[in-house]
Amino acid sequence: MNINDVNKAAKASRKRRRVGRGIGSGRGKTSQRGHKGQGSRSGSSMNPVFEGGQMPLVRRIPKRGFNNKGFADAVIGVNVDDLEIFFEKGETVTPQRLKEKGVVKKVFDKIKILGNGELTKSLDVSAHSFSATAQKKIEAAGGKVIVLPPKKPVVKNKMGSRKKTGAKS
- Tell me: pLDDT of 72 over 90: no
Between CA 35 and CA 40 the distance in angstroms is 7
Q: Which residues pair with 78 in a beta bridge?
A: 113
CB–CB of 118/137 below 8 Å? Answer: yes
Closest CA to 130 of 143, 120, 121: 143
- Tell me: pLDDT of 162 over 80: no
pLDDT of residue 14: 81
Between CA 142 and CA 50 the distance in angstroms is 62
Cβ neighbours of residue 99 closer than 8 Å, sequence gap 6 or more:
105
Between CA 8 and CA 78 the distance in angstroms is 41
Question: pLDDT digits over 114-137, tens only?
Answer: 999 999 999 999 999 999 999 999
Closest CA to 74 of 106, 46, 49: 106
Between CA 81 and CA 30 the distance in angstroms is 61
Residue spans of the domains in the chain: they are 76-147
Q: Which CATH architecture has domain 76-147?
A: Ribosomal Protein L15; Chain: K; domain 2 (3.100)
Cβ neighbours of residue 39 closer than 8 Å, sequence gap 6 or more:
33, 46
Share of the chain above pLDDT 90, in %: 64
Between CA 164 and CA 136 the distance in angstroms is 52
**Burial label, 86 (beta-carbon count in 10 A; 0-12, 13-18, 19+):** middle
Question: pLDDT digits over 48-66, tens only?
Answer: 889 989 999 999 999 999 8
Between CA 140 and CA 125 the distance in angstroms is 13
